[in-house]
Amino acid sequence: MELCKYPKTGNIRTFHIEAIQIPIVYNRYGDYDPDGLLYVLEEDAERIRREALRNFRQDTPQPYKEVRPLVIRANLGDTVKVRFRNRLNRRLSIHVQGLSYGVNGSDGASVGYNDDSTTCNEIWYTWYADTEGVFLFNDMADPRSTEDATNIHGLFGAIIVEAPESKWLDPETGNELKSGLMADIYTPGKPAFREYSVFFHDELEILNKDGEQPIDPHTGLLSSTTAISYRSEPMRNRMPHTHDPADSAEDVSMSSWVYGDPAPPILFAYVGDPAKIRLLHGGVKETHVFHLHNHQWRLEPDNPVSTILDSITISPQECYTLDILYGAGSLNRVIGDVIFHCHLYPHFIDGMWTLWRIYDRLQDGTGKLPDETPIAPLMPLKDRELPPKKDALHPGYPNFIEGTPGEKPL
């Protein structure tokens, strides 16, 4: 929906955003970018900086859960005002792609005869949420694609413009969200849906836990790293446990039973939940092919005769909304772990993959995975039938599977 089909709300939505610089740890194996950059809400900046550094200083650096690309939301018709504060020793900005704004004061760039809307201190931007969808924002004070610039180190985020009167809630608590990759979206008169923000990005400047460039164990050459939303699960960290060629196949190498869950954010749903994936490319150079197993979407979501896809090519700065047909589990109502990844296999192998975990039983926060990792609660969508509770005969996925952590399940 575009604003011309809906009146301006007169609502002003204000965000205070800050840029911080910390080492971003990409997985539990300790791979990290020592010069990580990210946008955060100003109220969260000190906590994220403190806890991320605490985790980084462990013997093997560990990720901090709140180190994620910043995703903010507004309703169609809102005026969005952003106070951007920059305490770092370089000029920075926020440039939004696809929304309307005054080019002189809110472009987030220094171009031609326009006013310089980058800053080394503080600046206000005004954006107009005049079209529904997902829109990337990034630093344009330094638009280079090199390791000396900013985007390659993570200085990007997104604003999602939801339908008028929509509300967005935390999937784990049911509370209203100020920001977050994942949200449950409630719009009057329409079905609620799970919303997942997925950022592909590449050309990362990564060191291993020993402060050295990672090495490909097969070639002995330097290994590159690709990521999803500041996390990466490269296959160099998931080497086969035996010399049996079967143990390097996808059903083993990507198995959470054998290696634990991958680092990039896992999507969660109950079977049948309506879902939209907000896909973004925050990287600087490579083209990727997003591929989701067992699910499809229409190229044009509102066109009933549009081409049905299960893969889509995405290049730097592009964004798509994937409105998943038939919801989580698709038409055959699959439960379990459904992988998605870049279908260019070097990018896949270098870490650009993760899971969509689809439950068949209620997860109330009391359960555990087979390896004793707690299972976070997942609030059922309020307009759908409650998922059945677990019992002794129906422990729910994944606990009905016969298997031992660290080994291939039977």
Q: Domains plus CATH for the chain?
A: 3-205+264-357 (2.60.40.420)
E strand or H helix at 250, and its extent?
helix 250-253
* Tokens found for residue 147: 């390791």
Task: Collect all residues with Cβ–Cβ distance below 8 Å to 320 and sequence separation of at least 6.
Answer: 134, 278, 279, 312, 314
- State the pLDDT at residue 7: 57
- Strands of 95-223, DSSP E: 95-96, 100-101, 122-128, 133-138, 156-162, 167-169, 182-186, 193-201
CA distance linking residue 363 with residue 357, whole number of Å: 12
- State the pLDDT at residue 33: 98
CA distance linking residue 98 with residue 101, whole number of Å: 9
Peptide bond into 63 cis (omega under 30): no
Mind listing the pLDDT tens digit of every residue in the chain (410 residues)?
A: 555 555 566 899 999 999 999 999 999 999 999 999 999 999 999 999 999 999 999 999 999 999 999 999 999 999 999 999 999 999 999 999 999 999 999 999 999 999 999 999 999 999 999 999 999 999 999 999 899 999 999 999 999 999 999 999 999 999 999 999 999 999 999 999 999 999 999 989 999 999 999 999 989 999 999 999 999 999 999 988 877 766 677 778 888 999 999 999 999 999 999 999 999 999 988 999 999 999 999 999 889 999 999 999 999 999 999 999 999 999 999 999 999 999 999 999 999 999 999 999 999 999 999 999 999 999 999 999 999 999 999 999 999 988 888 888 76
Task: Collect all residues with Cβ–Cβ distance below 8 Å to 29 and sequence separation of at least 6.
Answer: 60, 208, 209, 237
By C-alpha distance, which of 202, 196, 173, 169 is closest to 185? 169
Q: Give the CA dihedral 127, 132, 136, 140, nearest 10 degrees.
A: -30
What is the β-pairing status of strands 70-75 and 24-25? Answer: unpaired
Q: In a 3-state reduction of DSSP, which class is residue 270? A: strand
- State the pLDDT at residue 408: 80
The answer to whether 260 and 223 have CB atoms below 8 angstroms apart is no
Q: In a 3-state reduction of DSSP, which class is residue 350? A: coil
**Cα 222 from chain centroid?**
26
Task: Collect all residues with Cβ–Cβ distance below 8 Å to 163 and sequence separation of at least 6.
Answer: 1, 75, 76, 132, 187, 190
CA distance linking residue 45 with residue 39, whole number of Å: 9
The answer to whether 378 and 172 have CB atoms below 8 angstroms apart is yes
- State the pLDDT at residue 3: 55
CA distance linking residue 141 with residue 148, whole number of Å: 12
pTM of the model: 0.95
- Nearest-Å Rg of the Cα atoms of the chain is 21
